[in-house]
Amino acid sequence: METDLSITGLVLSASPLVKGVMLVLILASIYSWAIIIRKRREFRGARDEADSFEEVFWSTEDLTTLFNRITGANRATEGMERMFVAGFKEFARLRKRENIQPTSILEGAQRAMRISLNREIEELETSLPFLATVGSVSPYIGLFGTVWGIMNSFKSLSNVHQATLAMVAPGISEALIATAMGLFAAIPAVIAFNRYSSEIDRLFARYDIFQEEFAAILQRQVHS
């Protein structure tokens, strides 16, 4: 009987445990790609938002007018715009109080901006741990399926007087597919995790610079 050595044939003829390993790796790969595509849109949106808001911010002379325009638009803020709203809102609230030191007003605004910044970074980091897990674990899951498949291949030779390569080739081939699937799931996840981690570092630095520049403007206003 001729053995089907196509990838589909080898997958269908694999043992139940190896099939289970392959299924886990396929699902992990599909979910990883869904995260990769979604995070790509998120990071592109964050960069575009920062570019757009910085252009508006530095071309606006009256920050109160800008704050009222943003808060009066009845829309959700995000990124750098959200940091501005949080900082200026706290600044305006504390400035209305009596007998409060200018340093306390500035510290309150900076604290509000830091909280907003941390929330932005936390949102950007969502789902990245899953990519890291897939990237580090998938090769070992695939290797487990490979070892199990090869072990079964050699176990089937225990009752054979004369073993040939043709007898073990299909079993070894189907086992190695598990390793290939593990690498197929891991490599894109690792690349995406490293790239998006670098994107987060760049955005964090950009947000932090804006926070310092905005705090300097508020410091001048609080002493004016």
Our CA angle for 219, 221, 223, nearest 5°, is 75
Report the C-alpha gap between 213 and 180 in whole angstroms. Answer: 50
pLDDT at 36: 97
Q: pLDDT tens digits for 59-116?
A: 988 899 999 999 888 888 889 999 999 999 999 999 888 888 989 999 999 999 999 9
Tokens of 48: 């575009």
Tell me how crowded residue 119 is: count the other CB atoms within 10 A of its CB: 13
| Side chain identity at residue 161, one-letter code | H
144 with 182: CB under 8 angstroms? Answer: no
Per residue of the chain (224 residues), give pLDDT as tens: 444 556 566 666 667 777 888 889 999 999 999 999 999 999 999 999 999 999 999 998 889 999 999 988 888 888 999 999 999 999 999 988 888 898 999 999 999 999 999 999 999 999 999 999 999 999 999 888 888 777 776 666 666 666 555 555 666 777 778 888 899 999 999 999 999 999 999 999 999 999 999 999 999 888 76
Report the C-alpha gap between 21 and 109 in whole angstroms. Answer: 52
Tokens of 112: 């509000």
* Residue 131 CB-half CA count within 13 A: 23
181 with 25: CB under 8 angstroms? Answer: yes
Q: What is the pTM of this model?
A: 0.83
Q: DSSP character for 6?
A: S
Report the C-alpha gap between 180 and 28 in whole angstroms. Answer: 14
pLDDT at 1: 41
Our CA angle for 9, 173, 161, nearest 5°, is 105
